[in-house]
Every structure is written in C-alpha cells, then in structure tokens.
Structure 1
C-alpha cells in the first residue's frame, strides 16, 4: 500500500438491514491494469460495490475514472486483473447482451436518439413483432408505457425524444438500462447539465431505485453531491487507487487531500514583473450573464497580471473565456479590452481590440491541419503580410521564422504542414498565432492539454514572459499546473464566481473551492 493510502472495509448498504453484506458484490474489480501504448491509464486499481448502495468514484482529470468505466462496461478488456459480477466472471467482450444484463452507463452526453420517439428509443432493435414478423407499434408503445410506469418515469412514450429535457432523457436512459435486466447503473456526471430542482428530483429517484434493489456507481466533480447521495466513496489519483471509505467516515478535508496528493511543480514564487495599477485594465467584465451557463460575472485583469478562471467542466469558466474573445455573446453585461468595447459575439472585433487567444481544442479550433506552420501562425495578421488583399510569401515566411525561433518549434521549415508536428509543437503554433500581434490581453483555455511535460513547462514559461512585458493574461482551466503562476484565481461553480484565491494557495484549498466544498463548514 503506497504512502497516504488507506482502505476502509465497506459498510453494508443501509437499505438492506445488513443482509447485503452476506451477498457477493454486485461488481468487484481487482488489480486492474490498462495501458494505451506507453500510457498507463489504470495501475492495479480496485473497487468493490455492494448490493443496493450508491458508490462514488472521484478523482481529478486523468485519474482513470473513464477508463475504469470502459472496463466495467465491457468496452475494453483489462491488461491485468479481474472483474466479477455477483461473484461470477465477467462475460466475453463479444457478448454484448450479457453485459447489458449486468451493467449500464448513463453518460453525461445522452445516447438517446432525438429523432425517434421515447418508445422507439426504449426498445430499439427489440421491437414487439406481430403477425408475419411485422413490427407492432401498438405493442411497442404498450411495453414502453408499462416499463415507464414500473419505474415511475412520467414521460409520454409517444413523445419525440428530442423534445425531452435533460432530466427526462436521463430517466428514460435509466429505464432503458433496467429493461435489459441490469440492476447496476453507472451515472457519469449526471448533474452537470441540471439545475438545483432537477438535481433534487434525480437524487430522489436514485434513493427510490436503491430501495428497489438498484445499485449505482456515481461519478461527479461536485463533492457536496457525494456527501448528499452516496454511501461509499473510492478515490483514484494518477491511475492508482488511493482510498475507499464510507462517506460518513471520510472528512471532506481528507477526501480533497486524497484527490490532490502532492503538488507536481512549484510556480508559487512571485513573478519578477510588477503590476502597474495606474494603467487601463487589460480586461474589465461587468455583470456578464449568459442564459444557462453563467450569471453576474464581474472581474478585472490588470496589465501584466495573470488571472486564473478555475472551475469544473460545467462551471461556466470556458464559456466566460469564449465570451471575452467573441466566440459567444452574453445576454447581459458588458466587457472592455484595454478600454475598448468590442461588439458582442465578434471575434474580429475582439482581435482588433488586442486579444490573443489559445482555444480549448487545438485540433478543432486551433489550426488548419493541412496548412503550413507559416499560414497557421499568421492567420490572424493578414495586414502584416501585404496590402489590398495581396499577401507576400516572403513577409509571411520571415514573420513565421521569427515565431518558430521564439516558440522553439521543432520543424525543418515554415512550409511543413501543422499535422506533421507533435502535439506539443502544434500547441506552440497555436500560441505563436495568439502572440503574433503583440496582444494586450492573452486568453488561454486549458493551454497545456495533451502536451508533454517539457512543452508544458515551455508554454507556461512563455505565458509568464508575456505577462512580464505588460500583457494581461486570463487562463481558464481546471488543471492545477496551469494555474500555479497566477497572481490570483477566480473560482467558478455552477455559473457564478464564488471565491477569489490569492497567490500562495494550496492544492486542497483550490480543489475544494472548484468542487463547491467549504472546508471550514
């Protein structure tokens, strides 16, 4: 057992008066190892889930939660270790019907087909057949209504699935899973798109189903939900099992500490650059609101200041950053970049105001893969390449060569297609374009996602260097290493800025705030 690890013997599910303890686990995974090439996604992890309980699985991004789900649902075979259901071995991967009878996963992104009715979704490829093997739609609808009624799902089976709310789609998916015979359901971030009232209704349904013998594995970034709905909790960190314990016996401070571990790097030292409070702020945001994503967001980024915008996936941090750069338009409120108010929802206006931008997904938003490094790096500065619509290849290449040198991009020349570069060098090209016009404000969303350690350190160092030259920096991320250099961090939770944390924070304090946990409560 590694340092800091502890295992607590699971308590019996409260709904079974102790009888579940004598029954075999609904599912038990032991010594699970899973590799994808050189990456070890799971390193000898384990989990035991007892009948009738709701068992939480928590951990930071990259901890191995999704990989374990793929193993428990038969999408991937473990390289080492065993999985059992009810004390018996897991089915062969090819026997999909056998897997469906044992386990189902309701993913954050719905698998319901919106163009089909609820009944058609419930019994897709399992339609009721009448005479001559023709589908009996009356029979399909009747079976659907019986199924929905049996599990207290108040949805019209003839309704198009595209008309359902997020909450209704989740209930339909749960009913569909139960119709195969599964009594073990994995809920993957089920509350990410729900409001408070819908979350309460979901939790009520989970409790009802628990009492009917259904067992849940509950995956969530919101730790207060773990304490509200779950009996047991297992923590993964860095592809390894850290702790399993009854929720009631694990203080929140210990749970957060188990998730974070030790800091991987130290970027808490004061930056050499000083902030000039007399200059116009690089970014001013007042009362920004966007329906269903964020509300009443107000903050400033000073010239030369690095501000972090932290939060879990559905916190609203990414949407706020995309609003600043013009990819989204706010419903209310206003923003100014170095005193200039760009037209809402206009990327060209934001660029003209002095924004440099590194988007969340470089593959879909950051570059054109078949275009050269030179063309990608200069896409945002055509006026520097020529006049009257005519571009000079010589100017383009000279400008690109300077960027290649400045960002240490490994390439034989500026004509190489970006698709031929490694992930770290591709991200450097995206960063080069963001810095091409000497921005007054640099906005970055998850700037080191999917890059190697050396490229990560280089890119973060370049961000610090840019700030020291007087550029304001806004970093929207949930990766702690991206945020260590920040002068202060604004934490978003469920669409609101809830906490401001100054430089010198500890990992567990920031993670707790991002998960909506008050460690001092």
Structure 2
C-alpha cells in the first residue's frame, strides 16, 4: 500500500534485449576497425548509432548482417549466443539490412527486386500474380501505392529505389531492421513518411537500428543512442531526451565542434563570368533555367527532391542532352550532351551517387585522382604510375586525405575522404567550374566542416562553384547566391544572406500549390 492507502503500481517487467553485442572486435590487415563495441537493442525501439565516417559503423552493420565474421566478442539474439557466418544466417533470425548505397538491381521490376532471393514459387514456377499482390500491400504500407509493382527499378528516382529497398526488408518478416542513412536521399515529405512507417513498425514490436548523420532526425525518431569513435563505444544506450547535441558531437569527435560555415568572401562585382546558363531546359525535368556564376562565386540550387536540381547539374555537364537553351563556360558555348566538351572547357562534376557514378571503388586512390588526366601521365601509350602516385599524393596532402596512401583502394575510405578524392580529381585537372551534387551526403558532422572549408577555399582561389544539397540550411550557409526551384521551375533567385530556411520552404510550398 502507498501512504495514501492506494495499492502500489506493480513493478514494470524488465524488457529483455532482442539483440546484444558485447566487446565486438574486427581487424583488416592489422588495422582494428572494431575494438570493444557494445550495443543492446530492445524490441519495438529505435536505437540510433552515431559516429564519424571511419568510426566503424559500416563494419558493425556488416558484422550484424553476416557479411563479416567478428574476430572477438559475442552477439546474442533473444539471450542466446549466435554466429552470423553469412547473410543468410542473419536473415533467418529476422535481421534485415537497408544499406546506404542502394542495393536494388536495375533491369528488374519492383516486385522482382523486393522478392529477390526468396521468390514465391511452387513446383519451380514463379507465382507472379501473388508476388505483385504482396508488393502492392507492402508499397501501400509505405505510403507509395502509386508505385507500380511491374515498374523497372532503373527508371525510378533514388528516393523510389530507397522505398523498394525498404519494402524488400519488410518482405523478409524482419524482427530487426538496420537502416543505414535511410533519409540521405529523401526530401522532408519523404522523411516524414519514413518516420511514420518506422513508428508503425516499432508499434508492432519490430526493432530498428537507425544510422544517420542528421542529429535533428535522431531527436525526432530515436529512443536511445549509442556512439562509436575509432571502433570503440564511447557511449551506449543513452536516452535521446536526456542527451544534448553538444554531448553527441563531443562523443563522436572527442572535441567540441561547432557546425558552422566559414565566413563568406563573395567575389568582386567585376569578377569575370565563368559559367552562363541561358533558357536551359530538359523535357520532362525542368525548363527555362537561367543563371550566371562568376569566378570565385558559390551558387546554390535549392529545392526539394524532384525539383530538378541534379538534372540541371547533369545537363550543364553534358551527361544529359538539353532540349533547349545554352551553357557557356568562359565565353565558350558548349555542345549539348557532350561531357568531353564540358571537361575540355574546364567543367567538373561531383555526382550525387559518388560510389556508383563518381569512383572506381576497387581501384587505388591515385588512379581515381588521375582518371580525367591520363594523357598527362602517359608516354607512348603507357601510363607512368610513379608520376600518377606523386601527383595524387600531393593532392591528398593538400586536402588532408586520411589516410594519404595513394595505393589504398577507394572503397576503403570514409564518405568524407571519398568526396576529397573527387575534389582532387578536378583540382589536378585544372577545373575552373565545379558542380557539386550533395557534397556532404553521408558525411559526418566533423568531416562536413572540413568539406565546407575546402569548398570556400576553392572559391577563394577563383573556382566558380555550383552546389546542390537536400539540406536547405547547407545551401544557404555555403552559397553566395541561391536559385530556388520547384518541379523544374525557377521560383526565385537572390543573395543567400537575405534568405533563410523558412523563406525558401515557403517559396517552394507556395510554388507547389500553384
């Protein structure tokens, strides 16, 4: 009885973790990627895992997914020790993983991708009708019943492919879903829908391990947080509501980091025009886009996913053939649809999907850096690898690439360092106009600051830069001037210091209503 005479509330049962990770370790060629990671995940919770690029998050994910076998430590499932020697072992338990890099197969339909590896078949005959019905149910759950089960996945946007990847995880009847940067390619509406789905899943007792660099998302969707730094758990199972942003940054970096942008240094009004885009259009994507960028200026394209931002950069670069308008670089009008003409004129592009579109992941750093300048390092048809490595090493040191080893495979680098490799490629080429599509996508809070400083430094050296980002705050913080887009239409152009995130979103929402 309580002092008031009312019966005391019964004690709440202690919930047993669905997944427990104890002192996990993993090394590659003598380099310790994990060294004592601790984690426990409860049924029905969203457990957020944070850490800088290179901290060991990807290695942990692959250990939990059966891709890597740990060297030491223990993984327990429902209180029992388990060995995840292959991905099938994790899937059999109910652990599904959505990787940051889209793992869908272009050329196959939505249904074929969702059930790839566990197709519904009887007597050796695929049950296509049942597969499409189940696909429609999954897409409806995700709020995307407008997506056709028979659509070819290669025709979908990056956001659409992400939805297919999530539907695949749900098709496995997963009890725990690992989501690696799931919101990186989604606009605010898509993120809100993702959070709705996550809440519905956790309401059914499904656990989610959520990995994101966007700290504001953690506060919206997470229940508890664990932080990894240099392969080691610096914090485990912290309640989200009791942990400040400053504390998280300190745990991730080992120091206090202010996520601020370097001070602006706009070009002089008489700086030469480096890039001029007039009346540019691409049927079905955007129309009548015009802007100029002076040498030393950073020009931002702001808008939600689907606004045409990336398509504009790709058309300027010649990767898409414009259906109207012109692109002029330093007075030279480019031939539409010709990447060669753009590169020869001094244009360079860092694409949104840097791993699939920008880098040769299995090739060494030096080969990725010299990719656009092979002729400079060739004699009589033979490449001079020594000269390639020397040039790449010089750029790596200038950009503070970590590690600066030019022989290291590009796939082993963190997201921030892979971005530096792309920048190095265009710097060594002597690029004068640089197009950056999502330059900090998948980059941690500490590395973002480095990338921001590099971009501003390049502008100070006279490089004209056009930047696209799904984070409106980033566009405003980096750019000198901004063009706001919605559904392929220009809504406004203005100075960045006269705009804020609310003003840009207000423009976009008003434009969408028209």
TM-score, normalisation: structure 1:
0.59
Identify the residue that residue 416 of structure 1 maps to in structure 2. Answer: none
Deviates more, 1:236-245 or 1:65-74: 236-245
- Residues 31/147 of structure 1: CA separation in 2 closer, same or farther (3 Å cut): same
Q: Secondary structure at the match of 1:190?
A: coil
SS at match of 1:22: coil
Deviation of 1:72 after TM superposition, in Å, equals: 1.0
Please identify the structure whose Cα radius of gyration is greater. Answer: 1
Instruction: Report what 1:46 is aligned to.
Output: 38
Distance 1:255 1:493 in 2: 32
Q: Is the 8 A contact 2:95 2:176 kept in 1?
A: yes
Gaps of 5+ in 2: 1-9, 396-404, 411-420, 442-451, 498-514
- 1:203 offset after TM fit, Å? 2.5
Q: Which residue of 1 aligns with 2:360?
A: 363
Where does residue 474 of structure 1 map in the other structure? 465
How far apart are 1:122 and its partner, in Å? 3.3
- CA apart distance, 1:40: 3.1
Count of residue pairs the alignment pairs up: 436
- Consecutive unaligned residues of structure 1, counting only runs of 5 or more, are 1-16, 381-391, 411-419, 450-459, 503-521
TM-score by length of 2: 0.60
User: How much is the aligned-residue C-alpha RMSD, in angstroms?
Assistant: 6.3
Q: SS at the partner of 2:342?
A: helix
| Aligned partner of residue 363 in structure 1, secondary structure | coil
Which residue in the other structure is 1:33 paired with? 25
Equivalents in 1 of 2:245, 2:283: separation in Å? Answer: 32
2:295 maps to which of 299, 303, 322: 303
Bigger mean CA offset, 211-220 vs 399-408:
399-408
Q: Match of 1:160, SS?
A: coil
Q: Which residue of 1 aligns with 2:238?
A: 245
Q: Which residue of 1 aligns with 2:507?
A: none
- Please give the alpha-carbon distance, in whole angstroms, between the structure 2 residues aligned to 1:296 and 1:233: 46
Q: Distance in 2 between matches of 1:283 and 1:404?
A: 32
Q: Secondary structure at the match of 2:172?
A: helix
Equivalent residue runs for 1:6-85 within 5 Å: 22-85=14-77
Is 1:162 aligned to residue 152 of structure 2? yes
Aligned residue runs from structure 1 range 454-493, under 5 A: 471-472=462-463, 474=465
The whole-number CA distance in structure 1 between the counterparts of 2:195 and 2:59 is 25
**TM alignment of 1:276-315, pairs within 5 A:** 277-283=269-275, 302-303=294-295
Equivalent residue number for residue 407 of structure 2: 422
- Which residue of the partner structure matches residue 506 of structure 1? none
Q: What residue in structure 1 maps to residue 202 of structure 2?
A: 210
Deviations 1:386-428, CA, capped at 9 Å, x for gaps: xxxxxx969x99x999999887779xxxxxxxxx973599989
Asked if structure 1 preserves the Cα contact closer than 8 Å seen for 2:300 and 2:468, the reply is yes
User: Deviations 1:211-258 (Å, cap 9, x if unpaired)?
Assistant: 221111122343333232222223334433344422222334444454
Distance 2:253 2:289 in 1: 28
> Residues 58 and 219 of structure 1 are in contact (CA less than 8 Å); yes or no, is this contact kept in structure 2?
yes
